[in-house]
Amino acid sequence: MLAEAPKEKVRGDYDRRWMSDDYFDFIVWYTAGDTIQGFQLCYGKPHWERALMWLSGRGFTHMAIDSGEDKAEWNRTPILVPDGSFPEAEVMREFNRRAANLPRTLRDLVAAKVTEFVAKRKH
């Protein structure tokens, strides 16, 4: 279950909150005025993790996460790689179920942005 985390100041970047459970990593960036600047919703872990990111003024990206760890003795840094598929129904079902403790305004923003992302991909 995702739960609201404290906002952390990050030098040289936007303040952020990072929430996580066994299916999602959810990072939200905030401006100095406490307005949401964007978010990254990483989903599908640990089997096929992908990330939907939205940034105000920039729009959307959707990528797969390559964990970089194909051998136990190596610990490479995960990277984002292109991925075209987006299981909207699954992501929204899991988000609605797991984000019940988050503020309604944040849940509504994610739902609206997922809908916008899917609509843009159809055109």
Q: Dihedrals φ, ψ of 27, to 5°? A: -115, 130
Burial (CB count within 10 angstroms: exposed 0-12, middle 13-18, buried 19+), residue 66: middle
Is there a contact between 86 and 52 (Cβ–Cβ < 8 Å)?
yes
- The answer to whether residue 97 is domain-embedded is yes
Report the Cα–Cα distance between both ends of the chain, in Å, rounded: 34
Note down the domain range covering 98.
15-122
- pLDDT tens, position by position, 21-44: 999 999 999 998 889 999 999 999
Residue 6 falls within a domain, yes or no? no
The fraction of the chain above a pLDDT of 70, given in percent, is 83
Counting the structural domains of the chain, the total is 1
Q: Is residue 73 one of the residues assigned to a domain?
A: yes
Q: Which residue has the tokens 């292109």?
A: 82
Return d(Cα 33, Cα 55) in angstroms, integer: 16
Task: Give the pLDDT of residue 48.
Answer: 82
Residue 9 lies in a domain: no
For residue 3, tell me if it sits in a domain.
no
pTM over 0.85: no
Query: Residue 67: its pLDDT value, please?
Result: 62
User: Is 8 among the domain residues?
Assistant: no
Does the residue 5 lie in any domain?
no
* Beta strands at 36-43 and 50-55: parallel, antiparallel or unpaired: antiparallel
Q: Which two tokens stand for residue 77?
A: 């840094």
